[in-house]
Chain A
Amino acid sequence: EPEVTQTPSHQVTQMGQEVILRCVPISNHLYFYWYRQILGQKVEFLVSFYNNEISEKSEIFDDQFSVERPDGSNFTLKIRSTKLEDSAMYFCASSVRQITNTEAFFGQGTRLTVV
């Protein structure tokens, strides 16, 4: 069964450092998303991406965040200068159509720990 894969599974970084979280969406999917989940809290929307541009972003997704689809398979989330409060699970998701019309598939997540 096709799946969304994320690497690394766990990333530890020092405050102020840049991190890049990587995702390989399902191959025939066209819509891509990043969500995050602070420990014990709900899953929060960060950004959606379609046709090589951001479709929508949340208030959380400030200038420190960026997304990119550098090639035909990867979808990355970059945090330019990490803060302690960026520590969370980051989930990538993809869907064949807009997430409001169809099932979205989530990856296993990357646990980001900022120290």
Chain B
Amino acid sequence: GESVGLHLPTLSVQEGDNSIINCAYSNSASDYFIWYKQESGKGPQFIIDIRSNMDKRQGQRVTVLLNKTVKHLSLQIAATQPGDSAVYFCAFSYRGSSASKIIFGSGTRLSIRP
């Protein structure tokens, strides 16, 4: 079925430490996975994506890991900064009969301790 779940609804991290946000999915047919960041009062903002033929992709201070065997996705943020405070959503593609859509997970709130 279509579902994306998160292991933890909130995560508190010391400024400067690395953050790891986890996500589980159930649709084996998904081939595109995305992490979005949503700051208060704003729309989701694309962070990084990864395709199912990869298991790791790096961006600026962020790394996404994909484990298709256990249907697990994670987002690692290096040297977490106050500006990283937000809700993070994992999302995955779902290909319908004629088009496609992105299904969002329920979100993890990341808070930064000074």
Contact = CB atoms under 8 A, between A and B. Distances in A.
Interface stretch (B12-20, B42-50, B67-75): B42-50
Size bracket of the A interface: 20 to 34
B99 A50 contact: yes
A106 interface: yes
B99 A107 contact: no
A55 B103 contact: no
Contacts of B89: 42-43
Interface of B: 31-32, 34, 36, 38, 41-46, 49, 89, 91, 93-96, 98-107
Given A43-B36, A56-B101, A99-B93, 19 more contacts: A33-B101, A35-B104, A45-B102, A45-B103, A45-B104, A48-B100, A55-B98, A55-B99, A55-B100, A56-B98, A56-B99, A98-B100, A99-B101, A100-B31, A100-B95, A100-B102, A103-B46, A108-B41, A109-B43
